[in-house]
Amino acid sequence: MNSEVFITCAVTGSGETAAKHAGVPVTPKQIADSAIEAARAGAAIAHIHVRDPETGAASRDPALYREVVEQIRASDVDVIINLTAGMGGDLVLGSGEHPLPPNPVGTDMAGPLERLIHVEELLPEICTLDCGTMNFSAGDYIMTNTPSQLRAMAKRVQELGVRPELEVFDSGHLVFVRDLVKEGLLDAPLMIQLCMGIPYGAPDDPLTLMAMVNQIPPGATFSAFSIGPRQLPYVAMAALAGGNVRVGLEDNLYLSRGRLASNGDLVERAVTILEAMNVRILGPAEVRERLQLKKRG
């Protein structure tokens, strides 16, 4: 069990959730305010996507990231900024017997360095690195991250001095993590996020979680989360497994059955669960020290 835990709040994500819950932040101000709210509630890290302010759809516009980051850095709240680098790998094949050309609706493919433009410009303390390709949910959508793309991204993130949060959706992704370590493309300490319960990645049952935990490289720091109604139970699960915690509206919209949540609500509930387990919540300064982060801004 981990007796000292940090909380990451995944503030908005890229899914089609804004139409389901008016409290999902969409504009840069809403996203920044929600990250600040989560930090005040006890989150040490804010994991940030951006959305088109007009449509609510996922975006990778560097100008939107700049607005969010500048507002957070200008606030009186200390929180570690973790920008996604997962956008730009969305492939939707044509259906049936005609997979090519890809369906332009939903397909957004960019080169590895283009996917990092906002990271290079804004230099957050952390950015994500998805560690493999997978069938993500249903239909003909593929979350695309080839080994050569990921190696190029890992190298550039390393050069920038940004800590990659290694997004692991299945056990084979941990094999790739170990390969990157052997190749010198990842610096210690490793930061791994176990993303559980996402179709069609690793299921979120306890045996699968512990199988994943037992494959994590020695000395790595990890967090674990699940989605939907399992998000809050996974707060306890992650700590019991020796890890840290992620909550937020990216992965779950509800505080309880029928009761929509804010990011602050979800972080507050995570703090309540952890403190009831006699777990101490780590603040951003302690997390920076443990992960050897370079504070920016």
Closest CA to 270 of 235, 244, 231: 235
The yes-or-no verdict on residue 55 having pLDDT over 90 is yes
Question: Can you tell me the distance from the alpha carbon of 4 to that of 281, in angstroms, rounded to the nearest whole number?
Answer: 6
Mean pLDDT of 156-176: 97
Number of H helices, E strands in the chain: 9, 18
Predicted local confidence at residue 161, as pLDDT: 96
> Is 297 domain-assigned?
no
| 32 band by pLDDT with thresholds 50, 70 and 90 | very high
> Is 102 domain-assigned?
yes
Predicted local confidence at residue 297, as pLDDT: 67
> Is 52 domain-assigned?
yes
The yes-or-no verdict on residue 296 having pLDDT over 80 is no
Record the pTM.
0.96
Q: What residues form DSSP beta bridges with 170?
A: none
CB atoms within 10 A of CB 28: 23
What's the Rg (C-alpha) of the chain?
18
> Is 30 domain-assigned?
yes
Predicted local confidence at residue 292, as pLDDT: 96
pLDDT in tens, 214-262: 999 999 999 999 999 999 999 999 999 999 999 999 999 999 999 999 9
Question: Can you tell me the distance from the alpha carbon of 23 to that of 116, in angstroms, rounded to the nearest whole number?
Answer: 28
Mean predicted lDDT score pLDDT of the chain? 96
Predicted local confidence at residue 49, as pLDDT: 98
Residues 45 and 7: beta-carbon distance below 8 Å = yes
**Percent of residues, the chain, with pLDDT higher than 90:** 93
Mean pLDDT of 197-224: 96
Q: How many domains does the chain have?
A: 1
> Is 296 domain-assigned?
no
Q: In this predicted structure, which of 30-39, 67-76, 98-107, 135-144 has the lowest mean pLDDT?
A: 135-144
pLDDT in tens, 129-141: 999 999 987 789 9
Q: Which domain does 208 fall in, by range? A: 4-291
Q: In this predicted structure, which of 72-86, 89-103, 162-176 has the lowest mean pLDDT?
A: 89-103
Three-state secondary structure call for residue 174: helix
Mean pLDDT of 24-30: 97
Packing angle, helices 263-276 and 233-240, rounded to 10: 50
Question: Can you tell me the distance from the alpha carbon of 4 to that of 84, in angstroms, rounded to the nearest whole number?
Answer: 25
Mean pLDDT of 11-27: 92
Residue 100: phi, psi to the nearest 5? Answer: -120, 145
Question: Can you tell me the distance from the alpha carbon of 151 to that of 180, in angstroms, rounded to the nearest whole number?
Answer: 7
Strands (E), 25-154: 45-48, 50-51, 58-59, 80-83, 89-92, 108-109, 126-130, 134-135, 141-143
> Is 198 domain-assigned?
yes
> What's 141's domain CATH number?
3.20.20.70
